[in-house]
Amino acid sequence: MSTLTFTPHISRAAMVRLLVIAIALTAALVPFRLAHAATDCATVTDVTSVECETLVNIYRENNGSAWNNSTNWLDDDTVCDWYGVTCDNGHVVGLDLSNNNLTGTVSLSGIGNVLMVNLSGNDVVRLDTTDYLLLALAGVAVLMGLLLLSIFARLRGAKNELRMLEQHN
């Protein structure tokens, strides 16, 4: 009685191709995994997770691996030990990354308690303050509008009354 056996046939060339793809995928994912492996903002306790995510984003979006000094950044879960980060009472209150070879855009919208930020000496632009500019422009428009409205509305009223009095005469 013969035994029926099934042997999948994969050519050597196909196996090589699969191996190359697997190696390439792994190589592509390693840096990503390394960047995330050490810092999990969900488990960070010294600052809020939102503040942690904001700092991680600053690192990622400003070429963090090329910074002159990135001591402890994304290496552990103690955010307050990261270079340039100052904390107080469970919040990030200062960020000094001056002259540190940052390139890109920095958004601090997740850090509400930061007292002073120093990003001078880098090729970066802070983008999170546009809302404040728009708020200021709206305020200026309202104040100036009220002044002009007050002057011209009173002028119109006074002219009308004066015209009526002169007609009365």
Say if residues 74 and 56 touch (Cβ distance below 8 Å).
Answer: yes
From the list 18-26, 28-36, 62-70, 151-159, the region that binds other proteins by CB under 8 A is: 151-159
- 169 touches other proteins (CB under 8 A): yes
Q: What angle do CA 10, 12, 13 make, to 5 degrees?
A: 105
Tokens 């600053």 — which residue? 58
In this chain, which stretch among 13-21, 26-34, 61-69, 133-141 interacts with other proteins, using CB under 8 A? 133-141
Q: Which stretch binds other proteins (CB under 8 A): 17-25, 26-34, 62-70, 111-119?
A: 111-119
Please state, in angstroms and rounded to a whole number, the distance separating the CA atoms of residues 153 and 143: 15
- Is the Cβ–Cβ distance between 110 and 51 less than 8 Å? yes
Return residues touching other proteins (CB under 8 A).
108, 113-120, 122, 124-130, 132-133, 135-137, 139-140, 143-144, 146-148, 151-152, 154-155, 158-159, 161-162, 165-166, 168-169
